[in-house]
Amino acid sequence: MRKDHRPYIIKRLDLGFQRWYANYFLRPQLKSLGEGCHFMKPWFVEIFGGPIAVGAYTHIIATPDRRVRLTVWSTLDGGGRIEIGNYCLVCPGVRLSAGSEIVIGDSVMLAQGAFVTDSDWHGVYDRSLSVGQSAPVHIGRNAWIGDSAIVAKGVTIGENSIIGAGAVVIRDIPPNVVAVGNPATVIKELDPERSIKTRGDWMADPQALAAQFAEIDRGAMKNNTWLGWLRSMIRPVKGD
């Protein structure tokens, strides 16, 4: 579909149902869920183990073919944890798998299909080991992890740094750089003279931002009708 044919009230009801679903089914599985956290299609978010904490005003987007999976694996010696900061963006297909510790700073963006893991998940010489070698992963404030990138155990990524699509990060990345490739290497430093606007800056007044988006939706959907919506689902035509 080229546009959303739903009447505005249907979209508002859908958003309300998604909030209810996240609070009813996902919140009890989490150590904490911050204020204003928003899930899109929360029924495609899979949570296993804990503790897992999600910060305020973080957006988590899942789709039927790209589920978001947050996994903490426990052993007899203890277990891991996942901490996602405030104002983060988690896109479809993201997987976070912790046997030790994964800490994601405020305003971090994880693009579609990104995989962050702090463990090997099997021993190199003893394949019966369920976790193998493990070391904490820390992703700094306002970092951006590109499409299908992999962040491996023991890695620290500095604040504001960008990891290119498909990169495999096996060693630390300093702040304020762009790193690409397998293994990921620094190819560029960000301009220190230019200011960086974070998701936290963008969402400094979340109520005003929500009102702005609601007004945009109301304007875009003002001509939508119930009959037009039903027709678009049953008998779509060119231009729908």
d(CA 198, CA 124): 40
Residue 5 vs residues 14, 15, 63, 148, 198: alpha-carbon distances, Å: 13, 15, 20, 32, 32
Catalytic residue of the set 5, 38, 59, 122: 122
Residues in the chain, total: 240
User: Considering only CA atoms, which of 29, 38, 37 is closest in space to residue 72?
Assistant: 29
85, two tokens: 């900061």
Rg of the chain over CA atoms, in angstroms? 20
Residue type, 98: A
CA torsion sign for 215, 217, 218, 222 is positive
Tokens, residue 50: 């804990």
The pair of structure tokens assigned to 71 is 């996994």
> Within 10 Å of residue 98's Cβ, how many Cβ atoms?
30
Closest CA to 157 of 198, 200, 167: 167
State both tokens at 7: 């009447």
122 catalytic? Reply is yes
Which sequence positions are flagged as catalytic? 122
